[in-house]
Amino acid sequence: MHDFTDTNVLITGGTRGIGRSMVQAFAEAGANVAFTFRSSTDEAEALKKQLSNAGTEVLAFQGDAAQMEAAEEAIGGVVDAWGSLDVLINNAGITKDGLMLRMSEDDWDAVINVNLKSVFNFAKASYRQFMRQRGGVMLNMSSVVGVMGNPGQTNYAASKAGIIGFSKSLAKELGGRGVRVNVIAPGYVATEMTEELSDKARDAMLDAIPLGRPAEPEDVAQAALFLASPAAAYITGHVLHVDGGLAM
């Protein structure tokens, strides 16, 4: 098991699905954990209480990750409270699926802003802190859809593909300061978001997975623990597929 004692971690979109699983996994590994959320206040309070009762130091920040002010508040809050930011995981994301012919400009903009601009916001807000520390880890959550594409998800695919290019470029910028930037690209994960898929789309995706099952959020959380740990000290600019072989 990876030991994150005395490590300060911030995870965006931390109240549900993969985000919640990562929050819990890092807390169980001994980290101080902060997370952001936009509107799921009840879930955030319940998670914060659960972690606090288990002895974890925890911070929660409400705000829209697509807004720079929210990123600056969260990054600043973590550094003010704990003195450093050791691991940043950009996980906030939404879907607004539809064929391009019927996709509205608002649906395009919303997905790009929440999924891609939020990564820029939190990376920008944490950049100087990581530089001053001369160390740290950033993990950005992409998707198998950003690698393979998927009908009806042009906005989502564009946002997730953009995260990959962004992360590779940032890894080259920050590598000289000892900061590692990597990407996790989950496949079909059993979460509330994927429950919105049609039965036909769900069955087709399962048929294409060599391991024959969807991922659980915990599968992705374990990958995050590895990439954030000293065991991955020589890995940067990498895209780790957690997809059961779907993107082969």
Q: Over the chain, what is the mean pLDDT?
A: 95
Give the C-alpha separation, 3 to 208, whole Å. Answer: 35
The pLDDT of residue 87 is 98
Task: For residue 79, give both structure tokens.
Answer: 């550094």
For residue 247, tell me if it sits in a domain. no
Domain extent at residue 230: 8-242
3-state secondary structure of 117: helix
Share of the chain above pLDDT 90, in %: 90
Burial 68-78, CB ≥16 within 10 A → b, else e: bebbbbbbebb
Catalytic residue among 127, 156, 188, 234: 156
Is 159 part of any domain?
yes
Exposure b/e, 103-135, CB count within 10 A at least 16 = b: beeebbebbbbbbbbbbbbbbebbbebbbebee
Name the phi and psi angles at 94, rounded to 5: -140, 165
Amino acid at 35: F
198 vs 128, residue with greater confidence: 128
- What's the pLDDT score for residue 217? 96
- Torsion angle, CA of 166/170/173/177, rounded to 10 degrees? 180
Of 145-149, 166-170, 195-199, least confident by mean pLDDT is: 195-199
* Residues in contact with 63: Cβ distance below 8 Å, sequence separation at least 6, in sequence order: 36, 38, 69, 70, 73, 74
CB–CB of 72/61 below 8 Å?
no
CATH number at residue 135: 3.40.50.720
Give the pLDDT confidence score for residue 203 in this predicted structure. 81
Give yes or no for residue 1 having a pLDDT over 80.
no
Percent of the chain with pLDDT strictly greater than 70? 98
Q: Is 194 helix (H, G, I), strand (E, B) or coil?
A: helix
In a domain, 85, yes or no: yes
Name which of 13, 12, 23 is nearest 58 in CA terms. 23
Query: Per residue in 62-101, pLDDT tens?
Result: 999 999 999 999 999 999 999 999 999 999 999 999 999 9
Helix axes 118-133, 154-174, angle to 10 degrees: 10
Region 133-137: mean pLDDT is 97
Residue 248 belongs to a domain: no
Q: Which residue matches tokens 């001053």? A: 132
For residue 232, the model assigns a pLDDT of 98
Q: What tens digit of pLDDT does each residue of 178-203 get? A: 999 999 999 999 876 667 667 777 78
pTM: 0.95
User: pLDDT at position 204, please?
Assistant: 80
| 3 in any annotated domain | no
Do the bridges between strand 136-141 and strand 239-242 make them parallel or antiparallel, or are there none, so unpaired? unpaired
Q: What is the pLDDT of residue 193?
A: 60
pLDDT higher than 70, residue 6: yes
So what's the pLDDT on residue 194? 67
2 domain-assigned: no
Q: What is the pLDDT of residues 7-41, one digit of tens each?
A: 999 999 999 999 999 999 999 999 999 999 999 89
- Is 46 among the domain residues? yes
Instruction: Evaluate if residue 52 carries a pLDDT over 70.
Output: yes
Q: How many domains does the chain have?
A: 1
Among the listed ranges 50-59, 108-117, 118-127, 187-196, which one has the minimum average pLDDT value? 187-196
* SS3 assignment, position 136: strand
Catalytic residue list contains 127: no
In a domain, 1, yes or no: no
Which run of H or of E encompasses 144? helix 144-148
pLDDT score at 28: 97
